[in-house]
Amino acid sequence: MNIIDKRNSLASSRSTSYRRRAKSAIRNIAIHHSATTSGSAEAFARYHVNELGWPGIGYHYVVDQDGSISLCHDLEVVSYHVGNSNSFAVGICMVGDFRTQSLTVAQRQATLELTRSLMDQLSIPIDNVWGHIEFPGYSWKPCPSISMHSFRNWLREEGATFTDSPPPSPTYVAGARQRTILSRGDQGDDIRALQERLDELGFHPGRIDGIFGPQTADAVMRFQRTASISVDGIVGPETREALRDFESATEPIEHGSPTDEPDDREEMYRKETRRMLRLIQPMMRGTDVQEVQGKVGVATDGIFGPVTEASIREFQISEGITVDGIVGPQTWHALDRIQENGGGGYQRLLSVQTPYIRGEDVKRVQRALNIRVDGLYGPLTEQAIRNFQRREAITVDGIVGPQTWRRLFN
Ligand SMILES: [Zn+2]
């Protein structure tokens, strides 16, 4: 392994520094791509420090396309790369945008070798080597955009040599013995092939276990949304075809985004202390579940089941945030805003704006008008308000101000 020690030469903040931890706190190795077609530890460090204001580069290691490895931090450094999981993860970033590029042989070998040596040194099992997207709260993040299932298989093949041709992709094509439609509850090799294909395309379906469960359905829906086909979580002919052809249809990505982390969610994830709530087996229970249920308006039994999940999705749609049915930092923040609104008093003027005003208050208005409740203040809502104002003999302007609000609710 060709490791270059850059711990003292990369850009770092003069005023802040990362926390440190004991090596024994490390439980995961996180694999990233840089989402840039080129780059270096030096460039990422400058970006993280100068543009994002971080104490130093986010990654512990950067692996270049030629297979050379930059050591950027001691393992004890708690740098930013996987939000809430930073304190127990080591970050390895491979330079490249694997949505459009492939790993080079040298890079793959160096990354595998590095990962294996870290696994040995820190006693980390293969199953704890995760892609960025596999960390809690990151199912929206297409990083590292390679199949982590394959990556972990490569790790198992100690000493294996690689050629430039990628491993044959799972036979995800129409075949004689294949079922035509795959949906929740199905099991078998065709489900496994489906999961592998989803994983390969970066739509992490959870465990590759040949069982079509909620996570697989979720991955199918995320895929369908991305592929712009009907979103039903079921794999029929249309979805099957889209899965087969997806790569060739991938749009070119604009180059030059300096890192895969340039968004403000990192900070939010870092500060969030509440646990992530999601639909799993056995179902999660607790007062936090109850609190969430109260806010999205479902029975507050304190058990995170399918109905709660569905309501969370609806809530996320109306808030315009990532729709995954999971209460992570972003959704917690959105839910917090409901509380601040103090149970639905008049808060703001509602009118048709571009983009449309959205929120719980709009929903309340729509419910009161007995029209479709989508939480968006669009032309139909405006028209219904005009009619209402006419009936109430108040100023007809299609705008919900304090007077109209009072008439609606008092
Ligand atoms: Zn990443």
pLDDT at 405: 85
Peptide bond into 306 cis (omega under 30): no
Phi, psi torsion values for 124, nearest 5 degrees: -105, 125
Average pLDDT, the chain: 83
Exposed (0-12), middle (13-18) or buried (19+): which is 165, by Cβ within 10 Å? Answer: exposed
Exposed (0-12), middle (13-18) or buried (19+): which is 203, by Cβ within 10 Å? Answer: buried
From 132, 156, 180, the end of a domain falls on 156
On whether both 21 and 93 belong to a single domain, the answer is yes
Is residue 16 helix, strand or coil?
coil
Compute, in angstroms, the gap from residue 206 CA to the centroid of ligand 1: 17
pLDDT at 279: 83
Exposed (0-12), middle (13-18) or buried (19+): which is 103, by Cβ within 10 Å? Answer: buried
pLDDT at 174: 38
On whether both 92 and 18 belong to a single domain, the answer is yes
On whether both 18 and 151 belong to a single domain, the answer is yes
The DSSP secondary structure of 141-210, one letter per residue, reads: ---S-S-HHHHHHHHHSTT----SSPPPPP--S--TTS-S-B-TT-BSHHHHHHHHHHHHTT---SS-SS
Higher pLDDT, residue 271 or 29: 29
Compute, in angstroms, the gap from residue 143 CA to the centroid of ligand 1: 5
On whether both 372 and 321 belong to a single domain, the answer is no
pLDDT at 248: 40
Compute, in angstroms, the gap from residue 47 CA to the centroid of ligand 1: 15
**In angstroms, how far is the first alpha carbon of the chain from the final one?**
73
On whether both 7 and 102 belong to a single domain, the answer is yes
Tokens at residue 33, please?
A: 């791509």
Q: H/E element holding 320?
A: none
Domain count, the chain: 3
Q: What is the spatial distance between Cα 217 and Cα 396, in angstroms, rounded to a whole number?
A: 47
Compute, in angstroms, the gap from residue 259 CA to the centroid of ligand 1: 8
Question: Does 214 map to a domain?
Answer: no
Question: Does 84 map to a domain?
Answer: yes
Q: What is the mean pLDDT of residues 144-165?
A: 76
Compute, in angstroms, the gap from residue 90 CA to the centroid of ligand 1: 12
* pLDDT for 163 beyond 60: no
Compute, in angstroms, the gap from residue 378 CA to the centroid of ligand 1: 37
Tell me the CA distances in angstroms from 72 to 84, 91, 110, 129, 133, one per residue in order: 21, 10, 16, 19, 22
On whether both 96 and 142 belong to a single domain, the answer is yes
Exposed (0-12), middle (13-18) or buried (19+): which is 316, by Cβ within 10 Å? Answer: buried
On whether both 397 and 287 belong to a single domain, the answer is no
CB atoms under 10 Å from CB of 318, counted, come to 19
Compute, in angstroms, the gap from residue 129 CA to the centroid of ligand 1: 13
Compute, in angstroms, the gap from residue 142 CA to the centroid of ligand 1: 8
From 112, 129, 156, the end of a domain falls on 156
Q: What is the mean pLDDT of residues 210-232?
A: 85
CATH value at residue 130: 3.40.80.10
The one-character DSSP state at 87 is G
Q: Residues 312, 318, 324, CA angle at the centre, nearest 5°?
A: 40
Compute, in angstroms, the gap from residue 228 CA to the centroid of ligand 1: 25
Compute, in angstroms, the gap from residue 177 CA to the centroid of ligand 1: 38
Compute, in angstroms, the gap from residue 91 CA to the centroid of ligand 1: 9
Compute, in angstroms, the gap from residue 372 CA to the centroid of ligand 1: 39
Is residue 31 helix, strand or coil?
strand
Question: Does 168 map to a domain?
Answer: no
Tell me the CA distances in angstroms from 377 to 317, 342, 350, one per residue in order: 14, 21, 7
Question: Does 137 map to a domain?
Answer: yes
Compute, in angstroms, the gap from residue 303 CA to the centroid of ligand 1: 32
Question: Does 388 map to a domain?
Answer: yes
Q: What is the mean pLDDT of residues 20-36?
A: 93
Question: Does 55 map to a domain?
Answer: yes
* pLDDT for 306 beyond 70: yes
Compute, in angstroms, the gap from residue 105 CA to the centroid of ligand 1: 20
From 101, 131, 156, the end of a domain falls on 156
pLDDT in tens, 96-108: 988 888 889 999 9
On whether both 321 and 366 belong to a single domain, the answer is no
On whether both 376 and 405 belong to a single domain, the answer is yes
Tell me the CA distances in angstroms from 103 to 38, 109, 115, 342, 382, one per residue in order: 12, 10, 15, 52, 53
Question: Does 231 map to a domain?
Answer: no
Higher pLDDT, residue 179 or 21: 21
The DSSP secondary structure of 245-275, one letter per residue, reads: HHHHHPPPPPS----S--STHHHHHHH--SP
36-67 burial by CB neighbour count: b if 16+ within 10 A, else e? Answer: beebbbbbbbebbbeebebbbbbbbbbbbbeb
Compute, in angstroms, the gap from residue 133 CA to the centroid of ligand 1: 7
Question: Does 118 map to a domain?
Answer: yes
Which of these ranges, 44-53, 126-135, 154-163, has the smallest mean pLDDT?
154-163
Compute, in angstroms, the gap from residue 179 CA to the centroid of ligand 1: 36
Alpha-carbon dihedral 202, 205, 209, 214, rounded to 10 degrees: -170
The one-character DSSP state at 137 is T
pLDDT in tens, 256-285: 333 444 445 555 665 667 878 888 878 888
CATH value at residue 364: 1.10.101.10
pLDDT at 335: 86
Compute, in angstroms, the gap from residue 112 CA to the centroid of ligand 1: 17
On whether both 54 and 141 belong to a single domain, the answer is yes
Contacts of 108 (CB under 8 A, 6+ apart): 154, 162
Domain that holds residue 372: 360-409
Compute, in angstroms, the gap from residue 141 CA to the centroid of ligand 1: 7
